[in-house]
């Protein structure tokens, strides 16, 4: 069985955020750069549910972990 491949667009949809490319670019522009001493899931712009999802995906090295890492990198720009 193949592991699902998620995109950043899928991640934003999963987080309940607008998931078109322009909306993602706007989100990143509005929230970057994220300080190096703040974990992605601890950023103040996430809801509790979003932060929990991000934290669990990274901790469990789950399906979404790679794309969560991509978002983290983009926010640290």
pLDDT for the residue 70: 96
Residue 68 lies in a domain: yes
Residue 4 lies in a domain: no
Residue 18 lies in a domain: no
Residue 29 lies in a domain: no
Q: Which of 1-5, 64-68, 71-75 has the lowest mean pLDDT?
A: 1-5
Residue 62 lies in a domain: yes
Range of the domain at 77: 43-77
Residue 8 lies in a domain: no
Domains held by the chain: number: 1
| pLDDT tens readout for residues 17-51 | 999 999 999 999 999 999 999 999 999 999 999 99
What's the count of helices (H) and strands (E) in the chain, helices before strands? 4, 0
H, E, C per residue of 19-34: CCHHHHHHHHHHHCCC
Residue 65 lies in a domain: yes
Residue 16 lies in a domain: no
């Amino acid at each position: 069985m193949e592991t699902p491949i998620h995109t950043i667009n899928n991640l934003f949809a999963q987080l309940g955020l607008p998931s078109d490319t322009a909306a993602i670019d706007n989100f990143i522009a509005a929230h970057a750069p994220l300080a190096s001493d703040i974990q992605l899931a601890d950023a103040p712009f996430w809801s509790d549910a979003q932060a929990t999802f991000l934290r669990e995906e990274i901790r469990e090295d789950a399906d979404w972990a790679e794309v969560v890492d991509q978002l983290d990198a983009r926010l640290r720009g």
